[in-house]
């Protein structure tokens, strides 16, 4: 059974490495998506601020009711776009957190398999050292018996 475990452990480690790598790539992709969504949100907020300032200046200079209504309607549209973009950022944040948990889980699994492999190697080396020591002791005892004078 030890042979079966020894031969399957490298396969499990390779699979765990692949899974951790995939989770890492997904995490990178989600981070890029999040950065992009955050940039879009920032651009919308800047655009809204600029438009609000334009409205303020136009109002001070004198503005017809229909133009005021158009400004307000466009700002309301920008507010809705900002709200929608905030929801998108929140959704990506949720997926990003799930991706982090997945990556950590895969890394823990990989670390567990590697620790198990290290332990198996150490146990095998200890067994080999004991066997070598036993063989050396038997050789020494046999040599001592041959060289010892007979009584």
Find the mean pLDDT for residues 82-93.
Answer: 97
Q: Is it the case that residue 2 has pLDDT exceeding 80?
A: no
Q: How far, in Å, CA of 100 to CA of 26, rounded?
A: 9
Find the mean pLDDT for residues 76-93.
Answer: 97
Find the mean pLDDT for residues 101-122.
Answer: 94
Find the mean pLDDT for residues 17-27.
Answer: 96
Question: Residue 149 — pLDDT band, cuts 50, 70, 90?
Answer: confident
- Predicted confidence at residue 1, as pLDDT, reads 44
Angle (CA) 121-127-129 rounded to 5° is 100
Q: How far, in Å, CA of 92 to CA of 54, rounded?
A: 32
Find the mean pLDDT for residues 120-138.
Answer: 93
- Predicted confidence at residue 3, as pLDDT, reads 53
- How confident is the model over 30-76, as pLDDT tens digits? 999 999 999 999 999 999 999 999 999 988 888 889 989 999 999 99
Angle between helices 2-61 and 65-147 (to 10 degrees): 160
Is 85:40 a contact under the CB 8 Å cutoff? yes
- Predicted confidence at residue 62, as pLDDT, reads 87
- Predicted confidence at residue 151, as pLDDT, reads 63
Name which of 8, 26, 24, 23 is nearest 113 in CA terms: 8
What's the mean pLDDT when you consider all of the chain?
91
Find the mean pLDDT for residues 15-34.
Answer: 96
Q: How far, in Å, CA of 29 to CA of 21, rounded?
A: 12
Q: Spell out the domains of the chain, with CATH numbers in brackets.
A: 2-147 (1.10.287.1700)
Find the mean pLDDT for residues 86-108.
Answer: 96
């Amino acid at each position: 059974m030890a042979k079966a475990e020894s031969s399957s452990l490298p396969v499990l480690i390779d699979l765990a490495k692949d899974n951790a790598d995939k989770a890492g790539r997904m995490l990178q992709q989600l981070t890029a998506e999040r950065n992009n969504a955050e940039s879009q949100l920032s651009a919308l907020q800047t655009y809204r601020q600029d438009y609000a300032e334009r409205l303020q200046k136009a109002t001070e200079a004198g503005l017809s009711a229909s133009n005021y209504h158009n400004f307000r309607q466009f700002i309301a549209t920008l507010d809705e776009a900002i709200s929608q973009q905030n929801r998108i950022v929140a959704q990506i944040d949720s997926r990003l957190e799930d991706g982090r948990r997945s990556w950590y889980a895969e890394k823990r699994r990989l670390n567990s398999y590697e620790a198990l492999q290290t332990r198996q190697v150490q146990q095998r080396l200890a067994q080999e050292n004991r066997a070598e020591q036993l063989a050396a002791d038997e050789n020494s005892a046999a040599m001592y018996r041959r060289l010892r004078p007979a009584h």
